[in-house]
Structure 1
């Protein structure tokens, strides 16, 4: 069951990436981030309020946001800081790079998760999982050659390093999720609400320093329908992801790889919507990544 929940998460993540690309195009990145995170928080706020007013009803439908100790709040704050940093880097990169380059690099996240799962949780891959793992990494390297045809030199472009950093931080957060869900026994909706809460607080601090004081930056911001859509789609994807991770048999290395199937939506549909170049050449490494994910699932 957890694999199917992972695929549902991948579906909403793919749609989330398309909306995210639309939201940041020609726009100020930090207020877009605040808008998406704020939309996610507003989506969960009624669940939090009803959990306090009528906890029995929310427990009955498995959406109760539990009260947690301060120590657990600290653990969630760490996750929020990791993901806020990852999003800042990823949104900046997405603003300056084609989605058909950004998404495949993000798909290398299973590399870091794979290693972390072995070292931290003693998850043991078999032969076919290793083959699938290296196939994903090799396919991502092929994308770098396609990227050069669009004037994107991977060794000299700072946005490439930004998206690599975002990928590493995102993978670290994924490993941390297993600790929070399985070892701290945090219900998904509880983690989601307080995670959104702390991310919004962190972004407000960042914007107070870098955006609110500057009129030219405030006037450059454009409100788009895709901004709240990003937050809503992300929370939906996270809900299915955390539900999958609740299963004691769920392996974070496989779940991370399953989520990479979102690339199909981002590259195929995103390439058509945003009219990006070299779509056919990008299909070759795309197939490689999908085969790698398929091998991991098969194994």
Structure 2
């Protein structure tokens, strides 16, 4: 069951990436981030209010936000800092790179998660899952070759390093999620509510220094429908992802790989919407990544 929840998370993440590309074009990164996270927070806020004023009814529908100790708040705040840094790097890279290059590089996230799962959680893949893992990494390398044809030098382009850094931090957060959900017994809505809250506080501090004091920057900001859509789609994806992690049999390295199937939406649909180049050539490594995901998912 947890694998199918992972596929649902991938579906909403793919749609989230399309909206994110639209939201950041010509915009400052931090206010866009604040808008997306705030939209996600407002989506979950009714569950928190219901937990305070109508606890029994909220428990019945399965969206009760639990009371947690201050030590657990500290662990969630650490996750907020990791993801805030990851998002800043990812959004900046997305402004300057084609979505059909950014998304496949992000698909290398399972590499970091895979290694962490082996070392930290002692998860052990079988022979076919190893093949799937290396097939994903090789396919991402093929994307780098295609990227050079679009004038993107993977060695000298700082935005490539930004998206790699974002991918590493995102994988770190993914490993940390398993600890939060399984060791601290946090349900999805509790983790999502407080994560959004602390991320908003972090972004407000940054914006108070870099954006709010500058009238020209504020006037240049363009509000788009895709800004709240990003936050809503992300929180929906995270809900299914955290629900999958609640299963004690869930393996974070496999779940991370399954989520990479989101690139099907980004490369095929995103390439058509944003009219990016070399779409057909990108289908070859795309097929490699999808095959790798299939090997990891179905050969347990």
What's the TM-score, normalizing by structure 2?
A: 0.99
Q: Distance in 2 between matches of 1:65 and 1:297?
A: 31
* Deviations 1:221-270 (CA, angstroms, capped at 9, x unpaired): 10000000000000000000000000000000010000000000000000
**Number of the residue aligned with 1:37:** 37
SS at 1:65's partner residue? coil
**Number of the residue aligned with 1:48:** 48
Structure 1 residue 83: Cα displacement: 0.3
**Number of the residue aligned with 1:22:** 22
**Number of the residue aligned with 2:277:** 277
Structure 1 residue 107: Cα displacement: 0.2
Q: Distance in 2 between matches of 1:290 and 1:209?
A: 43
Q: Distance in 2 between matches of 1:144 and 1:225?
A: 32
Q: Distance in 1 between matches of 2:198 and 2:33?
A: 13
| 2:164 equivalent to 1:171 | no
| 2:134 equivalent to 1:141 | no
| 2:223 equivalent to 1:220 | no
Matches within 5 A, 1:62-141: 62-141=62-141
SS at 2:133's partner residue? helix
**Number of the residue aligned with 1:231:** 231
Q: Distance in 1 between matches of 2:159 and 2:211?
A: 21
* Deviations 1:159-216 (CA, angstroms, capped at 9, x unpaired): 0000000000000000000000001000110000000000000000111111111122
Q: Distance in 2 between matches of 1:188 and 1:35?
A: 21
Tell me which stretches of 4 or more aligned residues in structure 1 moved more than 3 Å.
Answer: none
Q: Distance in 2 between matches of 1:249 and 1:57?
A: 30
**Unpaired runs of at least 5, structure 2:** none
Q: Distance in 2 between matches of 1:217 and 1:52?
A: 39
**Unpaired runs of at least 5, structure 1:** none
Structure 1 residue 126: Cα displacement: 1.0
Matches within 5 A, 1:145-160: 145-160=145-160
Structure 1 residue 97: Cα displacement: 0.4
Q: Distance in 2 between matches of 1:30 and 1:169?
A: 18
Structure 1 residue 26: Cα displacement: 1.2
* Coordinate RMSD, CA, aligned: 0.5
